[in-house]
Structure 1
């Protein structure tokens, strides 16, 4: 402290000893005079070790005119008061303002800054740090969150307090160690956010939150748990309110008629996200709901959409804004249906929607499946399969018998006792050929029935050109030729 006072004293003496330009010898300005007066008072308090009073005077002096002497004295006062972080920042500001200090002053400043650096640590805030909140450390305001610069704090136990209007303060004691980064984990005891609800036309309507009625009316502001919430406005406007406000979509004559009876208002449901120690705002526009709709469906229990939003299941009844609406009904196994309806004031509209089943392919055991085409094709294919079966069995027996005869009748001459076996082989061959013909005819007939016979109402048909079908049976197999329109 003594070295710093001597350095500043030398600076002041040097400045007083320097010659001045005669042309510049003019009366000092009011700010300069005030700055000098406060500086002298600060020095007097500093000499008496009254550092708090001295700091106030030096700050007042700097408010009138910034000088390096006043900045240096202010930094020294902060150091003596134990505000090491502020003293270090004051020295840094002095160096930025006066980068070329006299050697002796620079040495004193450098020594003080090195000492202060070993008495402070950096503080990082984590956990619940609401944006826009005010940060206080040891009851000194240090800025608003989030901070835009590194926070340096004097070492030791520090009382941290975070305040935001409308919420309970967040407080904690943090132990700050010098020369290192310290993390303070803030935890808010009151886990709340704030919601502000208003109606676009300033109508006083009841507020429903998360499907539950509340005692609040718009405009309203209150605390809620953080998370997703739904808000809805509803209520009944009397004659006075209707006549004094503008009701959307209501003509003057309708307005006067409604004023005699009042009108039911509803805003619909809107989702809003509420965050911890933050204010969420929702502005809803209520509409005249003085019209009702009832929707039924066949079958019942179908899902219902109104104006693109799911409303529940049929039967459904409720109030909607006046005018045109689109309803859509869907049910599993049925074709969905959509219908437009128009609601008029003080009239209930009833709508019944009949749904058609989704067409299905007939099952094997259903009467629809067993049509004339299916029966004919099945019979033809069955006969074909039977014929091919006869062909396979008879042909196999005929081949085996022919092989025996070939072995017993060299040169084609058979003994008389083989005559019966030869006739049997010929009969089996004829039977096999007949089975093959029946099998082929059955396959062709089944195909013709499937292609030519169509269900009632079908416009597709098959006819022959020239010879309708040409069937060939040879060594290469079965061939079918024809033309299809």
Structure 2
């Protein structure tokens, strides 16, 4: 193998890896854009471009001159230019040595490790490269980030951009105190300091100075409508601003000119952007929940509907819950704007039956719905009322019949005694007074009979007429029938010289 030896000494502990590397035989495939520390390992051999090879040689030799003069930055630039024309192991190792002199140890280590992967690396240099790798690994540590690591943010170490978050693996960085900065457009930078120990992993927890996310709100058709977030008006669509992370309720409302609405055209934006219309068709979007994350942009696209119609809902009694299209909107009396077309209105109140009504709304018209709510049936209360009425009726009947029995018995007794004393002949005046008293007792007996009959009739009527509503029945009657729950069981019968009726409630 033909070898061309560079005439220089690598200063410090830098190994002159470029010595004894043949430029002609140790060629790698050209790279379209290798970069300073990102030249890919050589692969299969490719045809040489004489012009590119000549330019690569010129830049390489100029880099060697700068290297000998310790002008590390200029040497770095020339080696990069050489690699941009043709990738060679000599240029790769020379660039790695230069990066090492610039104390960019992590980049030098990455490039040295790529040199080790080259299939044409001379065996006599393999040990030198490995020793360089071993030495550099003592000069770097790894960095791992936790906490606030926004996706897509740029990570800068000592003001130099190193990666895009999130990191897929710990990042190599030079040892010592490192200034960390995380930047993302539209948000405040996140800064931190890390102490990197050789060969060790340093874990740094990032904390954002302003814990915000960004919400971007637009209307589907491009209409300029007012943006309302959590009940506060914040601007006009399209709108974007910082909000706290978490859930937010977003909706749009405003006006759109009737012509623009008919043609579905968005307003033209002026110098200060689109302005919300102050008249026209009333527009409103459904309420939407947007979940905003820290240091992330959450887009929300809402579609506004024509709500140029109003509805007023009243109920008797007032205070009933009002639901429209299955969503609770408030209590009666309630008034608001709704999209045009059919809507299902429901009103519900404790102790009353659910009331439903369909309403059709038309543009620029107000509809009113007035409903008298019906009370829910109370079987237990009706059952108590029935039982009380039956008890009172039978009690009055029992009192009347008791009066009949007592006064009727006394009247009959008085009449019998007078008749026995008079013996069928004319009675003295004293006995006639006895007969008058017996007549009065008979009158009371008649009253007791009437009262008793009315009471028994009223109690019986209460049992059968005052039935609880709602058909509350329970199984158990003979023959597969039913009997009232909690209530009436009765039986009537006729026998020789008797008539009987019995029941319970």
**Within the alignment, does 1:369 sit opposite 2:367 as a pair?**
no
C-alpha separation in 2, matches of 1:368 and 1:145? 79
Partner secondary structure for residue 55 of structure 2:
helix
Distance 1:327 1:309, change over 3 A: same
**Within the alignment, does 1:153 sit opposite 2:173 as a pair?**
yes
C-alpha separation in 1, matches of 2:218 and 2:180? 35
C-alpha separation in 2, matches of 1:13 and 1:349? 91
**Within the alignment, does 1:31 sit opposite 2:55 as a pair?**
no
C-alpha separation in 2, matches of 1:63 and 1:468? 124
Q: How do 1:352-363 residues align onto structure 2 when only pairs under 5 Å count?
A: 352-363=370-381
Structure 1 contact 291–344 (Cα < 8 Å) conserved: yes
Identify the match of residue 244 of structure 2 among 198, 209, 225. Answer: 225
Identify the match of residue 264 of structure 1 among 282, 295, 301. Answer: 282
C-alpha separation in 2, matches of 1:145 and 1:317? 51
Identify the match of residue 117 of structure 1 among 137, 143, 149. Answer: 137
C-alpha separation in 1, matches of 2:207 and 2:218? 31
Structure 2 contact 308–337 (Cα < 8 Å) conserved: yes
Structure 2 contact 17–93 (Cα < 8 Å) conserved: no
Shift of 1:246: 5.3
Gaps of 5+ in 1: 17-25, 248-258, 381-448, 470-485
Identify the match of residue 226 of structure 2 among 181, 206, 210. Answer: 206
C-alpha separation in 2, matches of 1:291 and 1:267? 14
Structure 1 contact 295–316 (Cα < 8 Å) conserved: yes
Identify the match of residue 165 of structure 1 among 185, 190, 207. Answer: 185
C-alpha separation in 2, matches of 1:13 and 1:317? 87
For 1:23-81, what per-residue CA distance to the aligned partner results, in whole angstroms no more than 9, with x for missing partners?
xxx98433222222222222221121112111112122222222111111111111111
Match of 1:11 in 2: 21
Shift of 1:455: 5.2
Shift of 1:274: 1.5
**Within the alignment, does 1:59 sit opposite 2:111 as a pair?**
no
**Within the alignment, does 1:245 sit opposite 2:264 as a pair?**
yes
C-alpha separation in 2, matches of 1:43 and 1:222? 54
Q: Which has the higher helix share?
A: 1
Match of 1:307 in 2: 325
Structure 1 contact 198–220 (Cα < 8 Å) conserved: yes
Structure 1 contact 362–368 (Cα < 8 Å) conserved: no
Distance 1:272 1:64, change over 3 A: same
Structure 1 contact 35–65 (Cα < 8 Å) conserved: yes
TM-score, reference length from structure 1: 0.70
Distance 1:131 1:106, change over 3 A: same
Structure 2 contact 18–91 (Cα < 8 Å) conserved: no
**Within the alignment, does 1:140 sit opposite 2:160 as a pair?**
yes
**Within the alignment, does 1:70 sit opposite 2:94 as a pair?**
no
Match of 1:323 in 2: 341
Q: How do 1:424-443 residues align onto structure 2 when only pairs under 5 Å count?
A: none
Shift of 1:367: 2.2
**Within the alignment, does 1:81 sit opposite 2:91 as a pair?**
no
For 1:183-219, what per-residue CA distance to the aligned partner results, in whole angstroms no more than 9, with x for missing partners?
11111112221111111111111111111123x1111
Shift of 1:222: 1.3
C-alpha separation in 1, matches of 2:209 and 2:102? 33
**Within the alignment, does 1:101 sit opposite 2:101 as a pair?**
no
Match of 1:256 in 2: none
C-alpha separation in 1, matches of 2:368 and 2:115? 82
Number of residue pairs matched by the alignment: 376
C-alpha separation in 1, matches of 2:200 and 2:258? 69
Shifted more, 108-117 versus 455-464: the winner is: 455-464
Match of 1:273 in 2: 291
C-alpha separation in 1, matches of 2:119 and 2:393? 108
For 1:262-282, what per-residue CA distance to the aligned partner results, in whole angstroms no more than 9, with x for missing partners?
211111321111111110111
Distance 1:372 1:464, change over 3 A: closer
Shift of 1:85: 1.0
Match of 2:39 in 1: none
**Within the alignment, does 1:189 sit opposite 2:199 as a pair?**
no
Structure 2 contact 191–206 (Cα < 8 Å) conserved: yes
Shift of 1:111: 1.0
Q: How do 1:406-421 residues align onto structure 2 when only pairs under 5 Å count?
A: none
Shift of 1:117: 0.9
Shifted more, 233-242 versus 151-160: the winner is: 233-242
Distance 1:340 1:29, change over 3 A: farther
C-alpha separation in 2, matches of 1:242 and 1:354? 39
